[in-house]
Structure 1
Amino acid sequence: MKLEDLKTIDQLEDFLSGTQAVAFSVLSDKDACYRWIQGELVKFRYLQLSRSGKGVVIRYLMKVSGYSRPQLTRLIAQYRKTGQVKRRQRTMAGFKRRYTEKDIRLLAAMDERHDTPCGPAVKKLCERACEVFGQAEYIALASICVSHVYNLRKSTTYTRQRRHFEKTRPKPSKIGERRKPQPEGRPGYIRIDTVHQGDLDQQKGVYHINAVDEVTQFEVVCSVEKISERYLIPALEQMLEAFPFVILGFHSDNGSEYINKRVAALLEKLRIEFTKSRSRQSNDNALAESKNGAVVRKYYGYSHIPQRWAPLINDFNQQYLNPYINFHRPCFFPITRTDGKGKQRKIYRYENLMTPYDKLKSLPCAQDSLKPGINFEILDKHAYQISDNQAADRLQKARQILFKTIHGRTMKTG
Structure 2
Amino acid sequence: MQVRQQSKQDLAAALQGRYVKAGKREKGELLDEFVAVTGYHRRHAVRLLRHGRFPDPRLAALRGTVAGVAAARRRGGRPRAYSPVVVGVLRVVAEASDWLCGKRLAPFLPVLVPRLEAEGALDLSRLTREERVLLVSMSPATIDRRLAPFKLRRGGRGWGTTKPGSLLKGQVPIQTYTPWEDQRPGFCEIDLVAHCGTSTAGHYLNTLTVTDVATAWTECAAVYGKSQRNVFAALEAVRERLPFPLLGIDSDNGSEFLNEHLVRFCAREQITFTRGRPYWKNDQAHVEQKNWSVVRRLVGYGRYESEAALAQLNRVYDELRPWTNCWQPTLKLIAKVRDDATGKSKKTYDQAQTPYQRVLATGAGAPEARAALAETFAAVGPAERRRRVATAVDHLLRLQERGNEIFKLANAG
TM-score with structure 1 length normalisation? Answer: 0.50
Name which one, 1 or 2, has greater alpha-carbon Rg.
1
Larger relative contact order, structure 1 or 2 (CA cutoff 8 Å, min sep 6): 2
